[in-house]
Copies of this chain bind each other. A is one copy, B any other.
Amino acid sequence: MPEQTNLARLLLSRFRWFDRALLATLHDRLGVKLTSAQSLLFATLPVEGARQSDLAHRLGVSRQAVNELVGGLEQQDLVEVVPDPDSGRAKLVRPTTQGRESIEVALEIFAQLEAELRARIGDRRVDQLRGALDASWGEPPGGG
């Protein structure tokens, strides 16, 4: 058994557990081929739409990164980009009809994965995992 000292590595590998399962299932159930980052953005998108800079902020990445992801989703007719009625410079990223259906399925898959995890490692552990991850970690300690 590996020396389990590394929380960071553990966190990353557990993320990948979800990521792989989500992408594979999404592909199988919908024929939709999303990338990792796209699926993350997708699962963050409210039905009524959101501004790109909003999404960037929520995901913790730059506006440019979101811009490119949105482009990919747009090509697959999963989202549409429309002018924001409240602002001339902003645009609204909104799921299309097909996109809304896909989002529903994606959220369902997330729920199923969590349920599967509960079956595998126990309700208690999953609740505790969520509790610890949800807690306020604050900013990463700088290199002071």
Closest residue to A60 on the B side, CB-wise? B13
Q: Is the CB of B7 within 8 A of A129?
A: yes
The answer to whether the Cβ of A70 comes within 8 Å of any Cβ in the partner chain is no
Copies of this chain present: 2
Contacts of A18 in B (CB 8 A): 7-8, 11, 140
Question: Which of B4, B5, B131, B133 is A14 in contact with, Cβ under 8 Å?
Answer: B133
Q: Which of A1-36 contact B (CB under 8 A)?
A: 2, 4-22, 24-29
Decide: A17 near B140, CB < 8 A? Known: A6-B110, A7-B114, A40-B9. Answer: yes
Query: Which A residues lie at the B interface, using CB under 8 A?
Result: 2, 4-22, 24-29, 40, 43-44, 58-60, 107, 110, 112-114, 116-117, 120-122, 125-126, 128-138, 140-144
